[in-house]
Amino acid sequence: MFVITGGAGFIGSAIIWRLNELNITDILVVDSLGQNSDKWKNLLNRVYLDYCEKDRFIDDIRNNKAYLKNVKYLIHMGACSSTTETDNRYLIENNYEYTKTLAEYALRNNIRFVYASSAATYGAGELGYSDMEDGLHLLRPLNMYGYSKHLFDLYASKNKMLNKIVGLKFFNIYGPNEYHKDEMRSVVSKAYLQIKENRQVNLFKSYKPEFLNGEQKRDFLYIKEAVEIVRQIIFDDKIHGIFNIGSGVAHTWNDLVKEIFESLNIEPKISYIDMPENLKSKYQYFTKADMGKINNYIKIDDNYRFTLKNGIKDYVINYLEKEKYL
């Protein structure tokens, strides 16, 4: 049996989509659906054995419930993913302590454990974006979300876990099933709505002279390619350690939104607005995943490899325009 925590979320539900494509349905979905969230809609098209709320699941882990004997793969995508969350205790409980408990259980019971770290652990990128583990202790995240992810990476390293488990540092992932994420949705999703409503897009101004407005760069990866990489990692037990999950290419925000305009056949119109004060000291101006390490293990079929242009076009035309889920 597979357990996918965060299974109703963006990346978790997309992983289930990819497993379903392989006719794998022996899946326990773990999540917290909340009171007013549309996250449940990410599961409408998916086939799985059962659903369990995250608080009950962690209790079952601690009590070693009998059904857990069947678990072979524990894919931990569940976390607070808000980069602007200010409740530090909440972040520690959800992103650090919960992950520790699952990882230790998986190792005791010979379960394949794959967990979500984050590119936010790299901070401003002063040390680059290499996923080699010998430099982990030197990283300085810019926000508490990134630090909560970084803490578990450090814990796994100090406790010699990284030769048995896999951590995934996701960069800017975009695509269907992120609709419930509100302000944490990708700029592709938010810009699409702006274009449909106003035929223009607002981007943050740059506050560093080396970057013109809209020329800040990020590593963007389409969700379908991201979960194909994850799929290969899950089933290859020779893979262990921490790995970047990105495209390996840095594109500007201007590049990104122009592809959305093109997909909609609308003339680009971009306005540059002030960045909120609380974000200025925490903003990443450049990210680019070093993919050399994981590329030694994986090979992406053309059906799951997307350029920025092709990924945005697929998302806009086949999902956003149709209000469709994976």
Catalytic residue among 73, 96, 122, 145: 145
In order, the DSSP letters of 200-247 are -EEEEPP-STTS-TT--EE-EEEHHHHHHHHHHHHH-TT--EEEEES-
Residue 322 annotated as catalytic: no
Catalytic residue among 39, 149, 169, 181: 181
Task: Name residue 57's amino acid.
Answer: F
Quick check: 4 and 16 in contact, CB under 8 A? yes
Residue 158 annotated as catalytic: no
For helices 223-235 and 308-315, the axis angle rounded to 10 degrees is: 110
Q: What is the CA angle 241-123-146, rounded to 5?
A: 65
Quick check: 43 and 8 in contact, CB under 8 A? yes
Host H or E run for residue 62: helix 54-62
Q: Residues with Cβ < 8 Å from 93, sequence gap 6 or more? A: none
Q: Which residues are catalytic?
A: 145, 181
